[in-house]
Chains A and B, each alone.
Chain A
């Protein structure tokens, strides 16, 4: 929260106890916030007419209109103000009711100073973002959910249902699906529809970062933690504070990193590399993988305890070949998108071309479809996408099992020669093949490749 004047944020304390109002008022005044208090619902509503209130700390139990009823009343005319509920006795029931009715967060009396200041800092951060760029954020909201995930097939409707169900909870989500099915889009949709949406979603591609760098990437480090650590650096766990951490290709995480991650999830805190002081972990975790994690657990490549930690709520994305009903829709969507961005007048796909799209297997899923359409828009001259505009492998007979075998054969040979060239260095070979280590191990096993003695 840089360059933000706290006096520009007005906090209202609503509590029937004078000592509570006074102590909170004094406490926040020390931080420089502008303070307003009210001892009951009627006074609170009056204060809202007279002041531009940004944050309300609201006691649930009050004589007359209680806190939840007051929240409902406020929401009738003000959607913006951030309400933090403070209750003497928190029951899951009241908390859920408060959050459903639009509270930003809730806490119980007495509250840890550290927790209260974090709650308010989070609220202030949200206000800062709101003020900074309301318009931009709204256009992103729209883009994330409406434009980029297209699907009318029953399989995708099911996926959307699951997203809607899980998004408002704070549950860990595991997204499964072949590569190219749009796992990151789903992760973003979950985030954008959660109460954490005003905080960042931080994606980490576990397969792309070498294990040696991953620790400091995730945990951050203190100045001087190791040679070269000239400055303190925030890790992804810290950057995701208040928001969502998206661990893509979680299946490729090395065993040491798995232990580290598990500890953070269990303790809800972590240490920066070279740091003494624990930092609270405040993020929702979404993981994705195209691997069979249960299989990886059996092979000892993935820790069972971590698997159970992340496998709480699963969303499985169907491969494109299983939802062919969406192909025309997706194809037209990408056609429109790329034609617009390239400023070309292409707005149709011939029936023949569409039939080719429908009968192809799409091993690369939606991403492959998008690439094919993009390429077609580039080379098209007629304004109508025809079979000539589509990649060659789509023409002719659809992929058959016999053809699959020969592809597999090519793959086997290629992998074997790459391994030999690199003296069976798994990391380097995986890098060159542009696949992750676990995938490479799986392929070695699948093809029964053996390192020469």
Chain B
């Protein structure tokens, strides 16, 4: 069974129970989660003019610092992420490789001027975690069927998609996990 290390980046995300997130992930994909308790520093990835963190640099650092820990690494951060050219990204992962990262910054209802909602936040985190992990297991964006691997460029896209893989993606996942 694939071991996955969940690593808080920069700080602990607000209003999110990481152990619950780990338990939920284990129920959907055949993996074992280990939770790192102390956040790692990601100041090196900060672009001061954008006040956002460069997600590609974070992925590189994750790999460097964890050469022998778990088979796969999943970073979670309360800070906003970007890649050059794009205004922001919800997350980024190496396709068919070890590391993925996602941000809770735009998953909070408050970001959109709405009252906080913990359940919704937890669901969005769960879907983002599944999605980025899916990429590390070699899954690309899934079109056509309702699937957590559908691409999301809006938070509403995340809400609309199910917290599970479609049959095709599921099959692929079980063949590689």
Contact = CB atoms under 8 A, between A and B. Distances in A.
* A and B pair up: yes
Interface of A: 1-2, 6, 17, 19-20, 22-24, 26-27, 29-32, 86, 109-114, 116-117, 276-277
Contact of A31 (B151, B156, B160): B151
A31 B82 contact: no
B151 A30 contact: yes
Contacts of A117: 151, 153
A110 B140 contact: no
Contacts of A17: 84
Contacts of A1: 143
Contacts of B86: 23, 27, 110-113, 116
B56 interface: yes
Interface string B75-102: 0000000111111110010010000000
Contacts, number: 64
A121 to B, nearest CB: 10
Given A31-B151, A116-B86, A277 B92 contact: no
B111 interface: no
Chain B binding surface SS class = loop
A29 B135 CA distance: 11
Contacts of B82: 110
A20 to B, nearest CB: 5
Name which of B84, B151, B156 has the most chain A CB atoms within 10 A of its CB: B84
B84 A30 contact: no
Nearest to A32: B140
B141 A23 contact: no
Given A19-B56, A29-B140, A110 B84 contact: yes
B144 interface: yes
A109 B85 contact: yes
A6 B142 CA distance: 11
B141 A32 contact: yes
A114 B84 contact: no
A1 B156 CA distance: 20
Contacts of A24: 85
A30 B85 contact: no
Contacts of B156: 276-277
Nearest to B57: A19
A51 B141 CA distance: 24
A282 to B, nearest CB: 15
Interface in B110-156: 135, 140-141, 143-144, 151, 153-154, 156
25 contacts: A6-B143, A19-B84, A20-B85, A23-B83, A23-B86, A30-B95, A30-B135, A30-B140, A30-B141, A30-B151, A31-B151, A32-B140, A109-B84, A110-B82, A110-B85, A111-B87, A112-B87, A112-B153, A113-B86, A114-B153, A114-B154, A117-B153, A277-B154, A277-B156, A277-B160
B135 to A, nearest CB: 6
Nearest to B55: A23
A113 B95 contact: no
A2 B154 CA distance: 21
Nearest to A15: B85
